[in-house]
Amino acid sequence: MTLLRRELGDVLRERRRAQGLTLREVSATASVSLGYLSEVERGEKEASSELLASICGALDLPLSKVLIDVSSRMAESEGLATTVSLPVPAADVVSASAA
């Protein structure tokens, strides 16, 4: 079972790293203890809605955008990822037995 807090933690960590911020910096701006933020990022602790808003604020990131990221990760693990079909000319289609 894919848990919300795991995906949420992954997204928050990725977003923080993409901005080149340390756990220490974000925890200070968000007024959250470094240990707690680290546990949230590792998906070990549930972040309360207030704390989550605070972390998003520290990352200057709307919560809605974080949720979209989380949602698409969840969809993938739920097997609901949208598949992309690319047109392939018939001549390029080779069956396994013919290869």
6 interacts with its own copies by CB under 8 A: yes
Tokens (6 digits) for 62: 């709307």
31 interacts with its own copies by CB under 8 A: no
Long-range contacts of 55-58 (CB under 8 A, 24+ apart): 55/12, 55/26, 55/30, 57/29, 57/30, 58/26, 58/29, 58/30
**Which of these ranges, 17-25, 26-34, 68-76, 89-97, lies near its own copies under the rule CB under 8 A?**
68-76
Size of interface with its own copies, in residues (CB under 8 A): 25
b/e map 38-64, b = 16+ CB within 10 Å: bbbbebebebeeebbebbbebbebeee
Tokens (6 digits) for 24: 């220490």
Contact pick of 30, 32, 37, 74 for its own copies (by CB under 8 A) = 74
Contact pick of 19, 22, 31, 71 for its own copies (by CB under 8 A) = 71
53 interacts with its own copies by CB under 8 A: yes
Note the residues at the interface with its own copies (CB under 8 A): 1-6, 46, 48-50, 52-53, 62-65, 67-68, 70-72, 74-75, 78, 80
